[in-house]
Chain A
């Protein structure tokens, strides 16, 4: 059902205020499109002047094209600037409006109604187009668009050579950091009317929290959320990004009643391999939602075996690397201090986590076993009382046993 009141002046004013609020909180084209889609009960597509996808919002049962490029080719707009889109087999309205910044064409806004009646809501569509125009012209006006396309290219692995990537970056005014850590975030359970505003809030809160680090953070809209690519030249920067990211849900709860956040953090990667950290961040977010109940941001490093299970078909190389990564801190400690932490852990699992039996097998007092288990937890970073962490350690042990070093 279309909101009948959207045709009244008061409803239009309220709609316009909604747009302004989104724009002022940094919501971007996607959030503006979501606002329009919610008001019209329609799907909304935004494309830029070069037919690149900018945003898709709303939903419906009808089919819609990935781009309206072919549909508007040669079509003549009616006097008020709208183009009626003819879609075979679709009974409902579809309209497109050119987005303009002054006289310059900046892109297209197209609306695919689920119930018709778009003609009487052209005012709302014009207002949304004007607001989106501001966003697109802002992007196109400075170097932002050029910068954004660099990151799109980088993450789609279009550069074979790090030097080529670096040269292209510097020609666009981007100084690449030696390392990056990605943070993927989505707001959970958003109700349509406030979704756009909360989307903007999430972006703002995340940037404020992550800004503790150094350098410019690249913000990418992905799916229904964001990926923040944070410069992390040193290990400590990666650590701090991870810590800051895990603080975001609390900051969001404090700042915005009801804004729940789920997310993931990738490992540190070089610029040319930034796609890896982005993929890891998004996988971690997925795992955080599916296995840990959401409302938290989880670092890839803390997820143990789950990312490998998620990917499916991990190579034996990846499995071996995983086993070594999990056990490496314990091995290093054993080597340096002549201790038996790895052996103790293996035995502890072998005897069904019975400390008394483990102590007898190791010929030590059971307090020694408790002490070692505490050391193992601290050094490995895995909690032996957590079923998730146990799974990781047990799997690492099994992989290690099957693949002798």
Chain B
């Protein structure tokens, strides 16, 4: 992301540019990054001498060893680097082992796009939605906790920080780590809008400005990686686990969509009324929310966050002001109207999550789905009658329920494609089954003495 400093407005450098920058910055190793279907970051590290060959797409890896990829003899997969994503890891700069990374698409041995590649899945979803969503961009608010490490360097759930929203304490290690995270993201070419303390003690947030949708998905992956590396250097552990502490706020990712570029005023008309595109986008999001939840909130733990507390969304409702609506439409800033989707969390696969959100919005735009009137006040106050009359549904309460919703929604399933849908579903059903069989400490506490 060396070519520009605006989030995603990245004109890809040429291969020659990359080789030159690598030499100038004395890069020794390059990580070829990709994600598996579950969204876990993977990489193949190559010495810089192999960079030219890697840029030609000649590096292969054993796909059979990656969850949800391929089986048997089809195992050798090719890594096709996206040149626009080249960036030097700032914390390695000046050291003996300067590292850079390139985010890659995965191709089959004969060079065809691999249908199990999440980044390719998003590319396809963007192509499918291109007729209605060419101008749509997205920004992110990403929440995470910074916890202390124990004497052995293992993460704890303790924090020495006692701050809350926007607090500032110079002696706080979390504060210093967060600043470093923001600096590193900027150095890698991301456009950081702000970074601040969040609600919970030890909880922080980094906000990224709007950019093209693929770049925004890359940015979530980058932020997760950078936060962990930088936090470790401050002897802290950055976790994006959706709900690490039962009694504290969970960590989500709020995705902001804009349906127009700054200045063209298309998202809100002269009277400040929302345009039909914005309304249809909201309509599409609410329609498909129960199904896209499985993808945007894909862990067992995600559903401990989606409860009626700490402003987590639990209903398919939208509002201008309510902080606990699934979709919130904040006041326009600089003539740009944003739509905020508030349910996702950073345990998601950024590419698959963006793909299902995009498909939902595009479906709303194509089929003119209207979202009803915005809700006033807290969604937690809704009673059954109000929910029924507004056709407001509950978001799934468990991963199992979410997967059942996913099964019934052809639009969301279609955005994933058959290969990803089946691989994702199988993996998640197995994860849920493991969780279901586990005996949790809560159960012992509740039952051991009583029965």
Contact = CB atoms under 8 A, between A and B. Distances in A.
Interface of A: 209, 211-213, 234-236, 239-240, 243-244, 247, 250-251, 329, 333, 336, 378-379
A212 B367 contact: yes
Interface in B304-333: 320-321
Nearest to B272: A383
B139 to A, nearest CB: 25
Contact of A234 (B367, B381, B390): B390
Contacts of B381: 336
Contact of B376 (A209, A240, A379): A379
Nearest to A242: B373
6 contacts: A212-B369, A234-B388, A239-B372, A243-B370, A329-B376, A333-B377
Contact of B390 (A235, A247, A250, A329): A235
B279 interface: yes
B369 to A, nearest CB: 7
B370 A240 contact: yes
B391 interface: yes
A234 B276 contact: no
Which of A209, A240, A333, A379 counts the most chain B CB atoms within 10 A?
A: A240
B303 to A, nearest CB: 26
Interface in B340-386: 367-373, 376-377, 381
Nearest to A241: B370
A371 to B, nearest CB: 12
B390 A244 contact: no
B279 A243 contact: yes
Interface string B266-285: 00000000001001000000
B53 interface: no
A243 B369 CA distance: 11
B289 to A, nearest CB: 15
A212 B370 contact: yes
Given A243-B279, A378-B376, A379-B376, A209 B391 contact: no
A234 B320 contact: no
A362 B435 CA distance: 57
B391 to A, nearest CB: 5
B391 A250 contact: no
Given A234-B389, A378-B376, 13 more contacts: A211-B368, A212-B367, A212-B369, A234-B388, A234-B390, A235-B389, A236-B373, A236-B389, A239-B370, A239-B372, A239-B390, A247-B276, A250-B276
Nearest to A380: B376
Interface in B121-176: none
A234 B369 contact: no
Interface of B: 276, 279, 320-321, 367-373, 376-377, 381, 388-391
A127 to B, nearest CB: 38
Nearest to A379: B376
Nearest to B320: A378
A329 B375 CA distance: 13
Nearest to B385: A235
Nearest to A246: B273
A243 B374 CA distance: 11
Contact of B391 (A211, A212, A234, A329): A234
A247 B275 CA distance: 9
A235 B370 CA distance: 13
A243 B381 CA distance: 25
Contacts of B370: 212-213, 239-240, 243-244
A186 to B, nearest CB: 21
Contacts of B391: 234, 236
Nearest to B376: A379
A240 B276 contact: no
Nearest to A213: B370
Contacts of A240: 370-372
A239 B279 CA distance: 12
A378 B390 contact: no
A33 B436 CA distance: 72
Contacts of A329: 376
Nearest to A234: B389
B92 to A, nearest CB: 50
A252 to B, nearest CB: 13
Given A209-B368, A212-B367, A212-B368, A239 B320 contact: no
Nearest to B392: A236
A251 B390 CA distance: 26
Contacts of B377: 333
Contacts of B372: 235-236, 239-240
B389 to A, nearest CB: 4
A244 to B, nearest CB: 6
A333 B376 CA distance: 10
A250 B276 CA distance: 9
Contact of A239 (B276, B373, B376): B373
A333 B276 CA distance: 30
A333 B381 CA distance: 12
B98 to A, nearest CB: 53
Nearest to B388: A234
Nearest to A236: B372
Contacts of B390: 234-236, 239
A236 B321 CA distance: 19
Nearest to A212: B368
Contacts of A235: 372, 389-390
A177 B171 CA distance: 65
Nearest to B372: A236
A234 B391 CA distance: 8
The 6 closest A-B pairs by CB, nearest first: A236-B372, A240-B370, A235-B389, A212-B368, A239-B373, A236-B390
Contacts of B389: 234-236
Contacts of B376: 329, 378-379
A212 B364 CA distance: 10
Nearest to A235: B389
Contacts of A236: 372-373, 389-391
Nearest to B389: A235
Nearest to B368: A212
A243 B390 CA distance: 14
A93 to B, nearest CB: 49
Contacts of B369: 212
A210 B3 CA distance: 47
Contacts of B367: 212
Contacts of A251: 276
A236 B377 CA distance: 17
A208 B381 CA distance: 35
Which of B369, B377, B388 counts the most chain A CB atoms within 10 A?
A: B377
A244 B372 CA distance: 10
Contacts of A234: 388-391
Which of B321, B372, B388, B391 counts the most chain A CB atoms within 10 A?
A: B372
A211 B367 CA distance: 9
A239 B376 CA distance: 14
Nearest to A244: B370
Contacts of A243: 279, 370, 373
A329 B389 CA distance: 17
Nearest to B377: A333
Nearest to A378: B376
